[in-house]
Amino acid sequence: MSLKDRYGLLILGTVLMLHFGCEREIDQVKIIAEVDGRKIAVDEFVLAYEYAPTSITQQADKIAYDQILEGIIDRVMLAGVGRQQGIEADQQINRIVDYYQRAAIVRELFLDHIRAGVQVSDDEKRQAYQRGKKTLFVKHYEFDSLPDNQLTTGKLLELEHSPMLEGLKTIDHPKYGPVDLIGWNDLRAELESILYKLELGQPSEPIWDTGKYHLFIVMDNEQEILLTENDYVTKQASIATVIRHRKEHRLAFNYVREIMAPQQLRFKSGGLKKLSDYLWQFCQKIPPELRLQQTIEIPGLINEDTGLLKQALADFGDYSWTIEDFIFHYSVKPLPINYTNRSSVLAGVKNAAAIYIRDFVLSEQGLSEGLAERRSVKKERRYWSEQLLADRVRQEIYTDFKDQVTDSTQLEKQFADYYADYLSTLRGFSESNIDTSVLYSVVTSSTGLSRKINFVSTLLP
């Protein structure tokens, strides 16, 4: 279910509230369109493009741009109706808007403290290019305790090889038996660097990771002979992107650890257990094939047990979070939870809560640095405010229409026609101007979108 359906939304009650008071602004960037005094600038269009589904953005630019701008205009008009109805004062909508503003602030924090400090040298790109031309044939061994430092290569070869990662290719080498084929960017940077520096047949030092010790031996390699400057020039941009992402991840890891350390995050075992037990029991009512989605919705919980919702879940810094705080953040941004058993649910809840809290703490840091005043953050706040207002108005129109329909089999088609007429009428009473020369000159990209930045996708210690 989408965010608009999840938050669902008040009843309109009137047909049209026209010539609503849209805010006016002085904009220094190029203006694409103006609707009842509300200017739509290029950067706002680019933001809408980033959030648009691929079914729209994969079309020819002119078609996609027309549809996206039409969606912006519809959103502006419907949001105006929502303001006239007083929906803007709704606490739940304001809480969601605040969440998205904080997400935008965290993005700006990343750009300032992480991305701005990352540089990729030509030497780094060339080293990566050369590694990309070499495939390693690697033996991997796991130990529960620190392995004997007297283990020779010969003795190691008598032990069973353990494939390193799911998805890596393992072959049966005619001389060495099972080995993993490792290429550049198949592993995390630190381990990759260790393997590419090993001499053939030389066991690595023991490496502690994921609760075990690991030893590696590079048994053989395949090297492409032909390395050309033209080939390097062709591939260097994509190579640089990988290196930059690796550096950003390392910097972000250290930055988050530095920010989170003073918070002294402490989880409450009682709250964690109650919430995970509730989710586990709720999960039993869901068909097993749907549990694999790992982002199961939690209907009814918010109004079902106020005592449970007030249960403390975690303390950090000067804040205390409850189960209700978790439910709110999960509703806006579901994170995967493994429903295999009770223990996996508890671990998933703890990990998701830690990520929500981490992002909240980062947003507090951004607020202290004045990032809420940046134009990009203000634009995003307005985007979500209007989007949620428009969604609620649309849902009310749908609710009102559904109550009047006697034949539910044609409900969706009939509503689509009714809603299109509603928007057409609304546009007829609005004053709008579109500068197509500015619209069609906008440069957009469907990759590397800045608003999809996240510090890390998983919990950092």
DSSP state of 440: T
SS3 category, 266: strand
Residue 188's DSSP bridge partners are: none
What are the tokens at 413? Answer: 């088609």
The whole-angstrom separation of Cα 447 and Cα 445 is 6
**Most confident stretch, 146-150, 170-174, 370-374, 451-455:** 370-374
Q: 404 and 356, same structural domain?
A: no
In this prediction, residue 17 carries a pLDDT of 36
Other beta carbons less than 10 A from residue 270's beta carbon: 11
What's the pLDDT score for residue 335? 87
Find the range with the poorest average confidence among 8-17, 24-33, 139-148, 157-166.
8-17
Specify the amino acid at residue 265.
L
261 belongs to a structural domain: no
The pLDDT tens digits of the residues spanning 83-100 come to 999 999 999 999 999 999
Stated as kind and residue range, the H or E segment containing 170 is: strand 169-173
Mean pLDDT calculated for residue range 182-194 = 93
What are the backbone dihedrals phi and psi of residue 209, each rounded to the nearest 5 degrees, phi first? Answer: -160, 140
90 and 14 within one domain = yes
Residue 352 has pLDDT above 60, yes or no: yes
- CA end-to-end span of the chain: 32
Q: Which amino acid, 280?
A: W
The last residue of one of the domains, among 368, 398, 420, is 368
Are 392 and 363 contained in the same domain? no
Same-domain status, 163 and 198: yes
Confidence (pLDDT) at 453:
60
| One domain for residues 343 and 418 | no
Mean pLDDT across the chain: 86
Instruction: Give strand pairing partners of 264.
Output: none
Do 399 and 441 lie in a common domain? yes
SS3 11: coil
Q: Based on the domain organization, do 352 and 392 belong to the same domain?
A: no
The pLDDT assigned to 14 comes to 30
Dihedral angle over CA of 355, 359, 365, 367, nearest 10: -160
- Is residue 57 over pLDDT 60? yes
Q: Cβ(411)–Cβ(405) under 8 Å?
A: yes
| CATH number, domain containing residue 209 | 3.10.50
Same domain membership, residue 377 and residue 349: no
> Which 3 state secondary structure label does DSSP give 459?
coil
Instruction: Give me the residue label for tokens 């005043």.
Output: 373
**pTM for this structure?**
0.80
Asked if residue 349 is part of any domain, the answer here is yes
346 lies in some domain: yes
Question: How many alpha carbons fall within 13 Å on the CB side of residue 380?
Answer: 24
Which residue among 368, 388, 404 closes a domain? 368
How many domains is the chain built from?
Answer: 3
Which residues are registered as beta bridge partners of 40? 33
Report how far residue 103's alpha carbon sits from residue 124's, in angstroms, rounded to the nearest whole number: 32
Task: Answer yes or no: is pLDDT of 23 > 60.
Answer: no
Task: Give the separation between CA 39 and CA 33, rounded to whole angstroms.
Answer: 6
Q: What is the pLDDT of residue 15?
A: 28
Rounded to an integer, what distance in angstroms lies between the CA atom of residue 55 and that of residue 52? 8
- pLDDT at residue 19 greater than cutoff 60: no
What span, in angstroms and rounded, lies between the C-alpha atoms of 134 and 196? 9
Q: Is residue 229 part of a domain?
A: no
Q: Which residues make Cβ contacts (< 8 Å) with residue 397, sequence separation at least 6?
A: 12, 418, 419, 422
Q: Which residues of 394-426 are buried (b: 16+ CB within 10 A; e: fewer)?
A: bbbbbeeeeeeeeeeeeeeeebeeeeeebbeeb
| DSSP element (H, E) containing 154 | helix 153-157
CA distance 337 to 200: 42
d(CA 408, CA 269): 48
Domain identity same for 7 and 102: yes
CA-based nearest residue to 359, from 117, 96, 104: 104
Say yes or no: 146 and 188 in one domain: yes
453 or 236, which is more confident: 236
Q: Among 170, 203, 223, identify where a domain stops.
A: 223
Confidence category of residue 413, pLDDT binned at 50, 70, 90:
confident
Residues 354-406 pLDDT 10s? 999 999 999 999 999 999 999 999 999 999 999 999 999 999 999 999 888 87
Token pair of 205 as six digits: 């030092």
Domain that holds residue 334: 266-368
Q: Look at residue 18 and tell me if it is in a domain.
A: yes
**Phi and psi for 199 in degrees, rounded to 5?**
-75, 150
As a whole-number percent, the residues of the chain with pLDDT over 90 amount to 66
Question: Is residue 460 in a domain?
Answer: no
Residues contacting 452, CB < 8 A, separation 6+? 50
Q: Residue 189: phi, psi to the nearest 5?
A: -60, -40
List residues bridging with 178 in a β-sheet.
Answer: 172
Return the minimum-mean-pLDDT range out of 71-75, 147-151, 252-256, 449-453.
Answer: 449-453
- Answer yes or no: is 242 within a domain: no
Q: For residue 234, is it within any domain?
A: no
Q: Are residues 359 and 278 in the same domain?
A: yes
Give yes or no: residues 214 and 293 share one domain: no
Contact 280, 342 (CB under 8 A): yes
The confidence score (pLDDT) of residue 300 equals: 54
C-alpha 373 chain-centroid distance: 23
Structure tokens that stand for 140 in this block: 């991997």
Q: What is the 3-state secondary structure (H, E, C) of 318-330?
A: CEEEEHHHHHHHH
Name the token pair of 131: 């590694």
CA angle 329, 334, 340 (to 5 degrees): 125
